[in-house]
């Protein structure tokens, strides 16, 4: 089938099977017909408020049916959804709006930009109740999405996709993912990966099971109740699932689950092995990619067991290089900066920031890693996060993985703090989720397992997650 506009794909879902449930959250259900009808109404409201083709519309709504209807309406108006995390500070959100210069914002108010409330929990919007429900003219934006980067290494930026809002609904999202599925959506729909896989899945016929936020027990119950067949998870979620008592995560509860895709950050080898033991390697796929869609690598569970720690080999026309600081190719096993190339034309454009993409198509996300002699990639950490202590490089992920081995730690975040003598020293914050454990106890736990350069000088305890539901962390905020 040839590519069609997202608008027409949504309408076709309603025409083919109007009563099919396309999304569920809690006790709310959204049928294909309701998605089409309510998005037609809301699209007309957008048009009445001055939205034109190729405009950006900034949207910041919680996971729910309202977010699905709002984005469908934006596409039907010929505009581009620009999702923004609800976890940004007011200053950061204002910076994103100033950079994106949207025609409208949904879900919050911004200076000098019109705003609208989003559709409600059932997908309906009272303000659009009187709007006609008939089909709108077929149109599509030249960019199908403009997500905001996580800001984990600095100020959040807008990543404008160069692909138009045209898709072939008979092609799966990726070769390693199913065309039809019941998909668990447990990360925030305002995050690039969750947004992409959820909406692309919806358009190929997935039924979405939406969680308002990730909770390990709620996620297991949703998988069991709705017969989930496919789930996107991040290492933080996997870690929390495996902390549950074995009886609560009995394999029988996951019998319908065919595939788990995990991405978002490097997965600790001990955690990955435990996940493979729990789910079986045949059900686990790992992908390394970014919001920029400038390349990706993939590894199956059985391949990982033969190469523990690898994030795979390039797929989808991607090429990978690892370069030294002088720009020469690193030797197999030598750590350097990871560069990707995928196609002759860029898949994205930054708004308000400069890309590192070179004229020959090679691009980097700023990650460090190495290749082996057979072209398999291993990641170390982000270059911007590396701590230099007394001239020695310390990778925060090494400290975090050790702290997360403690049974009381739900998640950890390590970072560098200025030091007059050493340049920097290592500190960390650990989420213990209500456990009665002190930061000093965790510091001693880590010190017994790390060499002198990597031992945190201080560990601060918190009872709140240190990473969001997309697995992303704000190290600058953690430093305080």
159-216 residue pLDDT tens? 999 999 999 999 988 888 888 999 999 999 999 999 999 999 999 999 999 999 999 9
Rounded to a whole number of angstroms, the CA Rg of the chain reads 22
Position 458 scores a pLDDT of: 94
Mean pLDDT of 407-432: 88
Mean pLDDT of 291-309: 93
Position 153 scores a pLDDT of: 47
Can you tell me which residue has the tokens 């196609």? Answer: 343
Which range is least confidently modeled, 34-38, 68-72, 266-270?
266-270
Residue 174: how many other CB atoms lie within 10 Å: 18
Mean pLDDT of 278-282: 96
pLDDT at 249 over 80: yes
Pairs from 171-174 (Cβ < 8 Å, separation ≥ 24)? 171/204, 172/204, 173/197, 173/200, 173/201, 173/204, 174/316
Can you tell me which residue has the tokens 């950050």? Answer: 265
Q: Distance of CA 378 to CAs 49, 94, 244, 304, 306, Å?
A: 49, 37, 29, 11, 13
Position 131 scores a pLDDT of: 87
The β-bridge partners of 397 are: none
pLDDT bracket for residue 83 (50, 70, 90): very high
Q: Residues 401, 403, 407, 409: what is their CA dihedral angle, to the nearest 10 degrees?
A: -100
Q: Residues 152, 154, 158, 161: what is their CA dihedral angle, to the nearest 10 degrees?
A: -60
Q: Phi first, then psi: what are they for 377, rounded to 5°?
A: -100, 140
Mean pLDDT of 88-97: 89
Tokens of 203: 């358009």
Q: Check if the beta carbon of residue 70 is closer than 8 Å to that of residue 59.
A: yes
Q: Check if the beta carbon of residue 310 is closer than 8 Å to that of residue 302.
A: no
Residue 474: how many other CB atoms lie within 10 Å: 20
Position 127 scores a pLDDT of: 85
Mean pLDDT of 99-109: 95
Show the DSSP H helices in 320-474 as ranges: 396-403, 439-447
281 DSSP assignment = G
CA distance 167 to 450: 49
pTM for the whole thing? Answer: 0.87
Mean pLDDT of 409-437: 88
149 DSSP assignment = P
CA distance 135 to 39: 10
The β-bridge partners of 160 are: 349
pLDDT at 107 over 70: yes
Across the chain, mean pLDDT equals 91
pLDDT at 39 over 60: yes
pLDDT bracket for residue 479 (50, 70, 90): low
Mean pLDDT of 110-139: 91
pLDDT at 99 over 90: yes
pLDDT at 154 over 60: no
**3-state secondary structure (DSSP) of residue 6:** helix
In order of start, what are the domains of the chain with their CATH numbers? 4-169 (3.40.50.12780), 266-383 (2.30.38.10), 386-479 (3.30.300.30)
Q: For the segment 347-362, what is each residue's pLDDT rounded down to a tens digit? A: 999 998 888 899 999 9
pLDDT at 369 over 60: yes
pLDDT at 248 over 90: yes
pLDDT bracket for residue 385 (50, 70, 90): confident
pLDDT at 377 over 90: yes
Which range is least confidently modeled, 87-96, 385-394, 434-443?
385-394
With a pLDDT cut of 90, the percent of the chain lying above it is 70
pLDDT bracket for residue 419 (50, 70, 90): confident
With a pLDDT cut of 70, the percent of the chain lying above it is 97
Mean pLDDT of 426-447: 92
Angle at 370 between CA 391 and CA 355, to 5 degrees: 85
Mean pLDDT of 410-420: 88
Mean pLDDT of 356-375: 92
Position 32 scores a pLDDT of: 98
Position 226 scores a pLDDT of: 97
In a 13 Å sphere around the CA of 287, the CA atoms on its Cβ side amount to 21
């Amino acid at each position: 089938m040839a590519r069609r506009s997202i608008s027409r794909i949504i309408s076709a879902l309603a025409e083919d099977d109007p009563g099919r449930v396309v999304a569920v959250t809690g006790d709310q259900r959204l049928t294909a017909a309701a998605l089409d009808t309510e998005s037609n109404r809301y699209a007309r409201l957008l048009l009445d408020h001055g939205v034109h083709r190729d405009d950006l519309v900034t949207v910041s709504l919680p996971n729910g049916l309202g977010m699905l209807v709002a984005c469908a309406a934006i596409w039907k108006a010929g505009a581009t959804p620009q999702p923004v995390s609800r976890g940004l500070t007011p200053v950061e959100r204002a910076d994103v709006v100033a950079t994106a210069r949207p025609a409208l914002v949904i879900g919050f108010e911004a200076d000098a930009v019109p705003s609208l409330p989003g559709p409600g929990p059932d997908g309906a919007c009272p303000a659009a109740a009187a709007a006609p429900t008939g089909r709108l003219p077929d149109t599509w934006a030249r960019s199908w999405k403009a997500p905001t980067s996580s800001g984990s290494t600095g100020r959040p930026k807008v990543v404008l996709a160069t692909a138009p809002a045209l898709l072939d609904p008979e092609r799966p999202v990726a070769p390693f993912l199913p065309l039809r599925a019941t998909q668990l959506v447990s990360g925030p729909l305002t995050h690039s990966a969750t947004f992409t896989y959820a909406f692309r899945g919806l358009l190929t016929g997935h039924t979405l099971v939406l969680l308002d936020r990730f909770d390990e027990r709620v996620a297991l119950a949703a998988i069991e109740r709705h017969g989930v067949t496919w789930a996107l998870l991040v290492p933080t979620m996997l870690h929390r699932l495996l902390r549950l008592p074995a009886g609560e995560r009995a394999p029988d509860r996951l019998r319908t689950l065919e595939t788990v895709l995990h991405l978002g950050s490097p997965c600790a080898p001990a955690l990955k092995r435990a996940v493979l033991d729990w789910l079986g390697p045949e059900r686990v796929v790992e992908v390394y990619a970014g919001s920029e869609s400038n390349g990706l690598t993939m590894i199956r569970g059985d391949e990982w067991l033969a190469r523990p720690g690898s994030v795979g080999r390039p797929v989808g026309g991607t090429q990978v290089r690892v370069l030294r600081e002088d720009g020469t190719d690193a030797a197999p096993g030598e750590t350097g900066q990871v560069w990707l190339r995928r196609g002759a034309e860029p898949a994205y454009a930054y708004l308000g920031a400069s890309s590192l993409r070179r004229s020959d198509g090679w691009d980097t996300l700023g990650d460090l890693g190495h290749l082996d002699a057979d072209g398999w990639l291993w990641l170390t950490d982000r270059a911007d996060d590396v701590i230099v202590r007394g001239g020695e490089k310390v990778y925060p992920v090494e400290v975090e993985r050790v702290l997360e081995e403690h049974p009381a730690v739900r998640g950890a975040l390590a970072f560098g703090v200025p030091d007059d003598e050493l340049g920097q020293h290592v500190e960390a914050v650990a989420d213990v989720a209500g456990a009665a454990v002190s930061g000093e106890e965790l510091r001693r736990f880590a010190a017994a397992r790390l060499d002198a350069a990597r031992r945190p000088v201080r560990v601060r305890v918190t009872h709140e997650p240190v990473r969001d539901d997309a697995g992303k962390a704000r190290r600058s905020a953690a430093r305080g």
